[in-house]
Amino acid sequence: MRFRGLELPCLEVEIAQRPFYSLLEVLTGSRRGPRVLVVSPLSGHRIVLLRDLVAALVPCHSVFVIEWRDASLIPAWHGPFSLDENIDCVLEVLRLLGPDLHLIALSQSPVPCLAATALAAMENDAPQPKSLTLISGFLDPGLNPTRVARFVNGLRVETLAESVIETVPDGWPGAGRLVYPATTQKTALGCYLARHLIEGRELLWKMLWDDSLARRLRFLRAYFDVQDLAAEIFLDTVDKVFHQRLLPRGRLMWRGVRIVPEAITRTALMTVEGGMDDASGLCQTGVAHALCRNVPERRRAHYCEPGVGHFGTFHGRAWRERIAPRVARFIAAQS
């Protein structure tokens, strides 16, 4: 199983497969509730990192998950996978699943999910989600820039393309495709973990105190379980999300169409942040409320969980005991 055994008996069913993603439905023996689509972040992590997030949702929701495929396994003739294609995939799944759907995005996925929701509101043929919950997203890395944002902003896209992008070798299904390799991502994650251990930050706390020993070991394995990313989405994230900050500046384009977040009026909006998040800083997710200014006030919510970092907002005790119940109540209120 992709989630390696949730706390509840469950069965994952692949209901759609496309070149760049699979759409999963998580089935349990419990009663079915509001339909929720979880859009995995294109961070290089495999879907197992979302085990806690999904486990907290399945008791009272019908859960669907977008699982991104390893870029090295996608034949090059399928073409590039940039931010445009990322948004295309979210729009396609909205059409597949139809109306009365609640969207949850985290980390890297809030930008394409907010963009897709705006396009659906801009008379695109995709149905508008009933609610959009954004967790620890990089909507505007220029607000309260973290060490991660400052580091990324110090990198030149051209230099990255020359230094870290590799070509999938012969013998692999994706031979010839350009990728940001899992080995490089694993090294970066190791450096991030080492800094947290030295400075006493979130990941040290998660390794020593958050949850049982078995849960902590599962998190560590999931943290380093990574895959190759398409070079285009990696470079687009650096350039369009971090360097140019196109979405908050009102300049993000999709297929020649400008993304207009203020077009969103029917989709309820919830944002979640971690008070100690040193990846996506405070206000970088909450800025969605300013961008989506035409969402009625009664259909908005914002929650900041004090004392947790980036991963704690969707994994671990804080997520299960305090954040997930708030997200569930918000979704139920919109249903």
What pLDDT, on a 0 to 100 scale, did the predictor assign at position 9? 65
Q: State phi, psi for 102 to the nearest 5 degrees.
A: -110, 135
Evaluate if pTM is beyond 0.75. Answer: yes
What pLDDT, on a 0 to 100 scale, did the predictor assign at position 5? 60
How confident is the model over 159-184, as pLDDT tens digits?
999 999 999 999 999 999 999 999 99
* Alpha-carbon separation of residue 175 from 34, 156, 178, 245 (angstroms): 41, 26, 9, 32
How confident is the model over 283-308, as pLDDT tens digits?
999 999 999 999 999 999 999 999 89
> Which pair of tokens denotes residue 242?
């971090």
10-334 CATH: 3.40.50.1820
Q: Check if the beta carbon of residue 95 is closer than 8 Å to that of residue 126.
A: yes
DSSP, residue by residue, 296-307: -GGGEEEEEETT
Domain boundaries, the chain: 10-334
What pLDDT, on a 0 to 100 scale, did the predictor assign at position 260? 97
Q: State phi, psi for 244 to the nearest 5 degrees.
A: -90, -20
Q: State phi, psi for 160 to the nearest 5 degrees.
A: -60, -45
10-residue averages of pLDDT along the chain (335 residues): 64 90 86 90 93 92 96 97 98 95 97 98 90 97 92 91 94 96 94 90 85 86 94 96 96 96 97 95 96 97 95 94 97 92
Crossing angle of helices 83-97 and 110-121, rounded to 10°: 60
Place of tokens 């973990």: 193
Say which residues have a Cβ less than 8 Å from residue 60's Cβ, sequence separation at least 6: 30, 31, 33, 34, 328
Report which secondary-structure segment, H or E, holds 65.
strand 62-68
